[in-house]
Amino acid sequence: MVALAIAALPLFARAAPVVIRLPDEVTAFKQDKGAEIANAQCLICHSVEYVTTQPPLPRGFWKGSIQKMQQKYGASIPDEQIEPLTDYLTRNYGAAATGVTVPSTANQPPLAEPSSAKTAPPAAPELAAKYGCSACHNATAKVIGPSLRDIAAKYKGDSNAVAKIEEQIHQGGSGKWGPIIMPPFPQTTAEETKILAEWILKPK
C-alpha cells in the first residue's frame, strides 16, 4: 500500500491546477427608448441576465422592483426616471398584456420636423444627466467609476483622447479602471458623444 501511494505521487504532482473563469458579459439591453436609463442604473449592481431571465411579469412587478432597489438597497435612481424605466422594462421584458397600456416605440407618432432655425447644441451637464453619468462618475471623487478629474489627468497630452473617450462611451468595456463594467451607450449621437468627451477631458 505504501509503495502504491508513493507511485501515485508523481500523478498528483503533474495535475494541472483548476482554473475557474466566469463567462464574459455578452448580453445587452434591447435598444429602445429608455435603454440608456437601464444601462446607467441597472448594470451598476447586476448583469443584464438578471433582467432577461425574469418571467414576463406585469408593469406593477417592474415598478415595485425598481422602487425596492431605490428605497431598500440605496440605488441612486432619480424619481423622474422610475416611470420611463418601468415602461422600458415592461415593454421589452414584461407581460404582453399587463392591464396598463404601454405604447411601443413602433406606435409612437413621428418626431416633429426640426425648424429651420439653428438650435444651440445641448450642454454637457444636461447630457450627463440624460444618460445617468453621475450614477457612476463624480467630477472630483471616485464613485463606481473613476472621477472626471482622474480621466482627464490620464488622457492629458494624448492627441487621440477625444476619440478614445467617444469609443468608450459608445462601446463600453472594462479593464482600464479595474473590473467594473462601463455599460455601452450606442444610442448617443455623434454630436452628443463629442460634447461629452470634450467636457470629460476638461481640467476639473
pLDDT, tens digit, 9 for 90 and up, residues 93-146: 887 434 444 344 444 455 454 554 567 778 988 888 887 787 788 889 988 888
Give the domain range for residue 41: 28-102
Is 89 contained in some domain? yes
Residues 134, 197: one domain? Answer: yes
Residues 155, 195: one domain? Answer: yes
User: Which CATH number is 146's domain given?
Assistant: 1.10.760.10
Is 5 contained in some domain? no
pLDDT above 80 for 14:
no
pLDDT attached to residue 150: 93
Report how many domains make up the chain.
2
pTM of the complete model beyond 0.75: no
pLDDT attached to residue 118: 62
pLDDT attached to residue 75: 82
Is 132 contained in some domain? yes
The last residue of a domain, from among 45, 72, 102:
102
Is 47 contained in some domain? yes
- The answer to whether 93 touches 53, Cβ cutoff 8 Å, is no
- pLDDT tens-digit map of 50-103: 887 777 778 887 888 888 888 877 888 899 999 999 898 889 888 743 444 434
Is 51 contained in some domain? yes
